[in-house]
Structure 1
Amino acid sequence: MKSDSNSNQPQRIFLTDYLPPSFSIDSVQLYFNLHETKTQVKAKIDFKKIKDEALVLNGVGLKLLSIKLNEKPLAENSYKVEAETLTIPNVPDAFTLETIVEINPEENKACVGLYLSRGIFATQCEAEGFRHITYFIDRPDVMTNYSVELEADKTKYPILLSNGDHLGTQDLGNGRHLAQWKDPFKKPCYLFALVAGDLGVVTDSFTTHSGKKVKLEVFASHGKQSRCLHAMQSLKNSMKWDEERFGLEYDLNQFMIVSIDDFNMGAMENKGLNIFNSRLVLADPESATDTDFERIESVVGHEYFHNWTGNRVTCRNWFELSLKEGLTVFRDQEFSADLNSRPVQRIKDVDALRGSQFAEDAGPNAHPVRPESCLAVDNFYTSTIYEKGSEVIRMMQTMVGKKGFRKGMDEYFRRHDGQAVTIIDFANAISEPNGYDFTQFKLWYTQAGTPEVSVHEDYNADKKEFSLTLKQSCAPSAKQPNKLPFHIPLLIGLLDSRGQDMTIESDDLVINSDQLPVLHLKNSEQKFIFKNISEKPVLSINRDFSAPIKLNWQASPAEMLHLLKYDSDAFNRREACYKMILQELKRLITGLRGGASVNPQASVLDALGFVLNDSQIDVQFKALMLQLPGVDILAQEEDVLDAVAFNKAEKLLIIAFVKQNEKQILDLYKMHHALDSVGDRALKNRLLSFLVLAEIPQAVAMASQQFIQAKNMTDQLGALAILCQTDSSEKTSALQVFYDRWKDDAVVFNKWLMVQAYADLPQTFDTVKKLTQIKPFSLENPNNVFSLHRVFGENFLALAQTKGEAYKWLCDEILTVDKKNPQVAARLCGSFNFVKKLPDQLKQKAQTEIKRMLATDSLSKNSRELLESCI
């Protein structure tokens, strides 16, 4: 790989440097002699030479004990061991290499490779973790068959798991036992996994459409089995859905999920042996919120769906990561939408996209869905790769329709099953069978940034013609100053004065295979004409958020209210409300920063009042319509991220809304408090937060009472989070009660950390520092760090209230974490994505601390890559 820096700095790698592997691997036999501090790994690998080159294997932190080629020991002068490689200059065309290495799982706090998590051996090999286990060609386009033997202490580790089919377990007679596993499907090494420990298990089965009975197992710590039932049901739902929607049947005889407390990722799709962060497995109503249940269902689906989109067909190199992740996010979003409310799911997905990915596109680390270069492969795991990648897939489905998309998916697997391929291979498999040209559309994969589309309307009553002129642009990014026009598919509708959808006729419309009208914006400026329009319509554009763009559209308050009340597209109905609130907050912020006396406009308050009082609106949908955009959204709209002004504007709007509707809000809270659906709880907690923020006299007591009387975690945590926004004795009491009840539960304890780190109070910084000293908090536990440091790092108001002191502390903490777990430290660096938009004094202090971190020689390449662009 070429380098764009001097030899003392980490080398940047480039997509254009890709070369096919010089060796293939026919098979791998692995023998693990598991020990807490001295695990030995014996690897027997059958190689074939493709190019006449030296064999270079990846290996990090390995103690080489033995090396043989074709069963003969190699002389020390015939190979070279360096910090990250093992090189053998001269090898035959076909040969077997046998190595034995020693590793220390107990000392491994990075949670990469093989490590110990509270007495359980576990692995994490994506992206480059396998090289921490044994010497290997650690890249995703080298696929082979694995046979695995695991030896361990029988008492400490009665459960021994790996990929594929379990061939048997035997007692070795010395207090140890041996399990044998064989995976019949070729896979890259990043999908290798093993687990060894003393675990409880929930067992079930699923019969595939061809009649094969698959054994299903979910493993967790003893006593937690009852909290695995939702994950098990989610797995069965996933298997059924994938058969029905995409015709994809599971291919092994068993499928396993293991819950681990110390895990950098959310979950990992290792073939047949998924390893999950415990927060995404363990759930019951007492310990998990409604959001937790939804998230577990989604992630279990996501990892299962990877069996085909990621495992059977994988990515050629890590620059192509969105091939598997963007596609599989799309699949899990569709799964969740089919099993729940499709409009609610779509709104939540877009809210998450805007809050995270749009911010990424607008920030210093913007990159395309298929990046061009990197310092650390681990930094590819971003919202752009995942969520924006999913939206690109969704646009393909919008263009060709669901039927056409299924046709393309079938072709994708026909062409590429068992291969490591590229994003372009996938796009071609969708476009070619459907007769589409995706040449311009593929720019979505290579250009960074969020396109902006401005809208100009004109209605000619005499001709009964409605014309729509659209202009697109995309702001320059650091590495891409000039952008070509994107191919943007837009679902569209026109509403008449009664709120009904009008029949639309246009030569510019393309009807997809689902009979939906799609506008294709391809030029920088493009005009679309609609004929036989009997009255001036109200435009509903980008329905269902058909393209991940920003719309610059100056619709009148009356038009927005019309869409809010009548649009048949649920997403755009909520979007109208969302835009009204967003524009009003921006207006209030501008006034406050200019020193003006401002008040919320009656038109916005009336719109919110309509939503509140319309009994025909689904309660879960209503809760989303009343949700205010967060500071992460406002930060993208403003030149300066003034968290103090935003907080004041938010309070002004909520106080005015509550003042105008206090009785209705109180009545609705009481009504939904007595009911027990997901939507009832969501709306009730939204209303309670408004009442407390508006300082209604009885509101804190209501929140305290809800906390005390709660029969489920959604109600209890909702009340606790609201109380944490107050400086009250009720908050102090509730926090102590919650801690005493849940301090020994690794999953729920993190919720206690989060609600305090999120508080918009001047003392939050002091609180967070104290929480790092409270047991069982540990900087070595990724979930603890994400729940406290990451949440606090995104609490812009709390950070601003410290006048920069918190940035010094946060940087010190990141440096400490970085020494042992660079992946976790790099994610904490996301706290600085908006640093260039901070007020000058705060920005200067934050950037001073960033420069101090960059001057640290031992700083990992993971953190360095993300921080360099923030100054």
Structure 2
Amino acid sequence: MTTTQQEPQKIYLKDYRAPDFQVDQIELWFDLQEDFCRVRSSMQIEKTNGIVKDLVLNGVDLELEAVHINGHRIEADRYHLTPETLTILDVPSKMTLEIQIKSKPQENTSLEGLYKSNNSFTTQCEAQGFRKVTYFIDRPDVMTTYTVHIEADDKTYPVLLSNGDKIRSEILPGGRRSVTWRDPFKKPCYLFALVAGDLGVIRDHFVTSSGRTVNLEIYSAHGTQEKCHFAMESLKKSMKWDEERFGREYDLSTYMIVAMDDFNAGAMENKGLNIFNSRLVLADAKTATDFNYFSIESVVAHEYFHNWTGNRVTLRDWFHLSLKEGLTVFRDQEFSMDLHSRAMIRIDTVADLRSAQFAEDAGPNAHPIRPDSCYAVDNFFTSTIYEKGSEVIRMMQTMVGRPGFRKGMDLYFKRHDGQAVIIEDFAAAIAEPNGQDWSQFKLWYSQAGTPEVRVKESYDAAAKTYRLELEQTCAPSPGQSEKKPFHIPLVIGLLDSKTGRELEIRSGKAIKNSEGQWLLHLKEPRETFEFTGLENRPVLSLNRGFSAPIHLKWDASQEDLLFLLAKDTDAFNRWEAGQKLMIRDLSKMIAQSKSGQTPKADDGLLTALGESLRDESLDPNLKSKLLEIPPHSYLWQLEDEFAAEHFEKASQSWMRAFAVRNESTLLEIYKRFHGKNDKSLHHTHMAERKFKNTALMFLSTLPSHLDLIWNQLQSAAHMTDYEAAFALCLDQDGSKREDAIQHFLKKFEKDSLTMNKWFALQASAENGLTAETVQTLWSHPQFNAKNPNRVYSLLGRWGDNLTQFHAGNGRHYQWLADRVLDLDRINPQVATRIAGAFDMCAKVNAESKAQARRALDSILDKGLSKNSYEVVSRSRQALN
């Protein structure tokens, strides 16, 4: 690799030092004008380190106008200004520091800090955006109370919002309005928020467990308010659930959500004023799928739960981001499980984990849950920090049980409310009241990679003893060539090989938790567990509920896996058995395709899954999940080399074989559920719709049923059916594909949010034309490179479409690399997300790797932001 770009400076966890100053309180005055914004701040600051003389403040893209200390203006010789800092020299131990700056939010395309979009001012301060608002000590362990005054033209910006509770509103001369907000709770600056615009609103209220009334408000663009009601109901459910499950009551008198079209993230938990990407607030049957509704419910809950796990107790530094994000993901998953089917939510969670986080662990950008270093803290917002972090907390709950976990959570809040803490503080709070020693378990936070556990079984009929030998390893990852053994809690069951009945566990090493689950604690590189009193060889059900986020290397017989598929009492492991069988079959079919043979699906598996399809005792949701093809991103991890065309051929061949074998049953299922309970959002009816559309997906592989797809597209009563039919039309040959594209465009071209689906589904198609389609859509009049949703819908979905992005021996890599460079100059956070597509290139063929090297080299010397440089350079190094 050759590059002339200077490597950005790394920051390290080991270099953490407590802040030299604390801010006791801050008052802010915002003067919002059409072509600029003026901000005046007044801070009460006190030294915490008597040795330090100078105060260093962070600030980016700010025009400094004045600095006052204790009422006296200081001149330029008393401070030093750089593009990223303001250093005030020789400051007193206590002072009132006043700073006035001028900025241009209208020109801020990074959507970080204070920016203007669609005629509204808004903010995004996590992780380090507050330094684009005003000069401040921009780090999460500097917590203070905020009083905020916002002044703007009343006609243009009638809605002026900030954190906390509104304490004053007045009309000023010249048609301007001033509003004052005060948040009495100390918070880090990344939780600051401001919104100014002309917005519609819906209002409701919630009565807390102690009898207080909380005003609830959701703001969105005029004309979209009616799409906010589902989000409002989700918010009220979240507030009630957190009181009942974790004893957490909301603490302010107002809770606000604002939906914005131009927003880098999904949502942001700013204290009392959440700012959401509009796709996670706005919903109606015409434009939102069942998945969209579920996502809204989940994310509204996630941001609300942050009020305690993130806001009241926050993180000391960004290396400990999973302290709040892993914990809050765990909490929103538990919320969804309590409202819906626990087993089905768990299956979806693990499928997503394997597709995204396991791939991240296996790629060049693998990192621990608590990283040791980085170039840009914005790059910490990964699946590892969030989803794997959640899995570690789930293991804690599994080990101590629900009551023990609640006891630990209560201690955590009691001990650390109002503090900025670290992951070890949380782990200690859960461990101590439950008598746990987690010195080894905490390696999950410091070691990257997905552990692999190899399984060997034996049965001694004479001794009536079953022996289980487990061996754990973890592959090297960037910066970590050797790994220590993890502490892996495995939930286990033994089943009678004839009836499927649960057998009694008799083992000195097995421990029963409060939920009645039997656990094995694997702590050594290799351990053997013995189970006695067994009349016949049992069938093993291991890692039930996916109790540990690991790869199981287990050469279970086809007979045992088919038995588990049919009989296991653990719904997750029933699905898991089907996935293992399908992965084996697809791997065989990929090998057949590579050798020039016609891929042939296994008859036994087709028969078993066909029987599950016809089993009326099974939940339709589980039936759908049993038929899900493992995602290519997961299969990629299991193969030595990713060959796009062979993966696609194997998947399509398997689906066709199943459809041929079960054609009449699939057609009967489709007809039975088509048009049934179309408007219901009950999870049972959502499951039926998913089951019906799964049947349609298989039928679409048979030419005789293609009319079903087109008819559903034209007659769909809701977006779930419309999107399913549209996606299937895109994978067909002939004029119907183009007809479907125009049908969608004509129907929704004026709905910007729904048009994201139009871009995303075309980028996700597996029709051999996707690359050319994506490149054409980049220049489409409806595409806007400054809107993150549009970019993620088009380029993000294409990068995830492995069989299409990696087709043609890497001939599409240069085009995407050029787009990363374009985006980096507009919005580095968005560019970084898109650059992640190159993580997969380490397993492509030699010609494709050469193309990837050339593409990445061509942008590495073009002055990338530190965000993009970190991801691109690691992907490039993996290709050496």
* TM beyond 0.5: yes
Structure 2 residue aligned with 1:749:
755
Q: Please name the residue that 1:690 is paired with.
A: 698
Match of 2:575 in 1: 574
The one of the two structures with greater contact order (alpha-carbon pairs below 8 A, sep at least 6) is 2
Who is 2:680 aligned against? none
Output one character per residue of 1:435-472: Cα deviation in whole Å (capped at 9) or x when no partner: 01000000000000000001111111222111111000
Query: Hey, what's the Cα distance between the residues in 2 that align with 1:374 and 1:786?
Result: 24
Deviation at residue 690 of structure 1 after TM alignment: 1.4
Partner of 1:272: 272
Q: Classify 1:740/1:125 alpha carbon distance in 2 versus 1 (closer, same or farther; 3 Å).
A: same
Note the 1:329-728 alignment, pairs <5 A.
329-496=329-496, 497-676=498-677, 677-692=685-700, 694=701, 696-728=702-734
Taking the aligned partners of 1:799 and 1:303, their CA distance within structure 2 comes to 33
Matched, 1:866 2:871: yes
For the Cα contact (< 8 Å) 1:36–1:104, is it kept in 2? no
Between 285-294 and 683-692, the greater mean CA deviation after superposition: 683-692
Distance in 2 between the 1:297 and 1:664 partners? 34
Alignment equivalent of 1:729, drawn from 735, 748, 769? 735
Residues 816-831 of structure 1: pairs in structure 2 closer than 5 A: 816-831=822-837
Q: Distance in 2 between matches of 1:707 and 1:349?
A: 29
Q: What's the secondary structure of 1:870's corresponding residue?
A: helix
3-state SS in 2 of match to 1:820: coil
TM-score by length of 1: 0.98
Does the alignment pair 1:29 with 2:35?
no
Deviation at 1:411, TM superposition (A): 0.5
Q: How does 1:181-196 map to 2 (within 5 A)?
A: 181-196=181-196
1:11 corresponding residue in structure 2: 9
Q: Is the 8 A contact 1:65 1:100 kept in 2?
A: yes
For 1:698, what is the secondary structure of its paired residue?
Answer: helix
Distance 2:378 2:26 in 1: 25
Q: Give the Å deviation of 1:774.
A: 2.1
Equivalent positions of 1:299-318 (< 5 A) are 299-318=299-318
Task: State the distance in 1 between where 2:4 and 2:865 align.
Answer: 16
Deviates more, 1:648-657 or 1:239-248: 648-657
1:47 equivalent to 2:53? Answer: no
**What root-mean-square deviation, in Å, do the aligned CA atoms of Structure 1 and Structure 2 show?**
1.2
Residue identity matched to 1:596: Q
Q: Determine the C-alpha separation between the residues in 2 that align with 1:179 and 1:9.
A: 45
Residue of structure 2 in register with 1:155 after alignment? 155
Shift in Å at residue 796 of structure 1? 2.1
Deviations 1:815-866 (A, max 9, x none): 111001000000001101111111111121012101111111x211111101
2-structure distance, mates of 1:15, 1:772? 40
Does the CA-based 8 Å contact 1:36-1:116 persist in structure 2?
no
Q: Deviations over 1:100-133 (max 9, x none)?
A: 1011111001000001120111100000000001
Q: Which runs of 5+ in 1 are unaligned?
A: none
Contact 2:367–2:478 (CA under 8 A) maintained in structure 1: no
1:607, 1:777 → 2: CA distance? 46
d(CA) in 2 for partners of 1:306 and 1:691? 44
How far apart, in 2, do the equivalents of 1:419 and 1:643 lie?
Answer: 50
Residue correspondence of structure 1 range 230-249 to structure 2 within 5 A: 230-249=230-249
Distance 2:672 2:135 in 1: 63
Q: State the Cα deviation string for residues 406-429 of structure 1 (Å, max 9, x = none).
A: 000001011100000000110000
Distance in 1 (CA, whole Å) between partners of 2:782 and 2:597 is 48
Give, as a single letter, the amino acid of the residue that structure 2 aligns with 1:636. Answer: Q
What amino acid is aligned across from residue 777 of structure 1 in structure 2?
F
Could you say which residue in structure 2 is the equivalent of 1:218?
A: 218
Question: Helix, strand or coil: the match of 2:219?
Answer: strand
Equivalence for 1:175: 175
- Code of the residue aligned with 1:134 in structure 2: it is T
Runs of 4+ with deviation above 4 angstroms: 5-8
For 2:20 and 2:125, locate their aligned partners in 1 and report how far apart those are by CA, in whole Å.
22
The answer on 1:791 being equivalent to 2:789 is: no
- Superposed displacement of residue 596, structure 1: 3.3
**Offset at 1:699?**
2.4
CA distance in structure 1 between the partners assigned to 2:39 and 2:806 by the alignment: 50
Cα shift at 1:797: 2.0
> What is the SS of the residue equivalent to 1:286?
coil
In 1: Cα distance, 2:473 partner to 2:597 partner:
34
Q: 8 Å contact 1:37–1:103 — kept in the other structure?
A: no
SS in 2 for 1:167: strand
Aligned to 1:257: 257
Q: How does 1:74-223 map to 2 (within 5 A)?
A: 74-223=74-223
- The answer (yes or no) to whether the contact 2:644–2:807 under 8 Å persists in 1 is no
Counterpart-to-counterpart distance in 1, 2:177 and 2:166: 14
Aligned length: 864
Q: Which moved more, 1:312-321 or 1:507-516?
A: 507-516
For 1:666 and 1:614, the matched residues in 2 are separated by 15
CA deviation string 1:713-770 (max 9, x = no partner): 0000110011111123222222212112212212101000011011112222221122
User: Which one-letter code corresponds to 2:773 in the other structure?
Assistant: T
1:619-651 C-alpha deviation (Å, 9 max, x unpaired)? 111111110011101100001111110011111
Shift of 1:40: 0.3
Give the secondary structure class of the aligned counterpart of 1:869: helix
Q: Conserved in 1, the CA contact under 8 Å of 2:148 and 2:181?
A: yes
Deviations 1:274-306 (A, max 9, x none): 000000000111110000000000000000000
- Structure 2 distance, partners of 1:6, 1:94, is 46
Tell me the distance in 1 between the aligned counterparts of 2:395 and 2:578.
Answer: 24
Matches of 2:574 and 2:512, distance apart in 1: 23
Per-residue Cα deviation, 1:751-803 (whole angstroms, up to 9, x for no partner): 00011011112222221122122222100000000000111112222223344
Partner secondary structure for residue 57 of structure 2 = strand
Q: What SS class does the counterpart of residue 714 from structure 1 fall into?
A: helix
Note if contact 1:37-1:107 (Cα within 8 Å) is conserved in structure 2. no
Q: Is the 8 A contact 1:403 1:514 kept in 2?
A: no
Q: Is contact 1:577-1:607 (8 Å) kept?
A: no
* AA in 1 matched with 2:813: Y
Q: Give, as a single letter, the amino acid of the residue that structure 1 aligns with 2:816.
A: L
Cα offset, 1:591, TM superposition: 1.9
Cα distance change, pair 411–7 in 1 and its aligned pair in 2 (3 A): farther
Once residues 852 and 838 of structure 2 are traced to their aligned partners in structure 1, the CA distance between those partners, rounded to angstroms, is: 8
Report what 2:682 is aligned to: none
- Measure, in 2, the Cα distance between the counterparts of 1:35 and 1:611: 64
Contact map agreement 1:757 1:791 (CA 8 A) in 2: yes
- Is the CA contact 2:431–2:438 (under 8 Å) kept in the aligned structure 1? yes
- Partner residue, 2:681: none
Q: Which moved more, 1:558-567 or 1:5-14?
A: 5-14
CA distance in 2, matches of 1:802, 1:193: 46
2-structure distance, mates of 1:443, 1:573? 30
Kept in 2: contact 1:456–1:469 (CA 8 A): yes
Residues 9-31 of structure 1: per-residue CA shift (max 9 Å, x gap): 31000000000000011100000
How far off its partner does 1:515 sit?
3.1
Pair 1:841 & 2:854 matched: no
Query: How much does 1:134 deviate?
Result: 0.3
- The residue identity in structure 1 corresponding to 2:673 is H
| Aligned partners of 2:47 and 2:94 also within 8 Å | yes
Asked if the contact 2:5–2:861 (Cα under 8 Å) also holds between the matched residues in 1, the reply is no
Runs of 5+ consecutive residues of structure 2 not aligned to the other structure? 678-684
> Residue 388 of structure 1 aligns to which amino acid in structure 2?
K
CA deviation profile, 1:37-59 (whole Å, cap 9, x unmatched): 21000010110011131100000
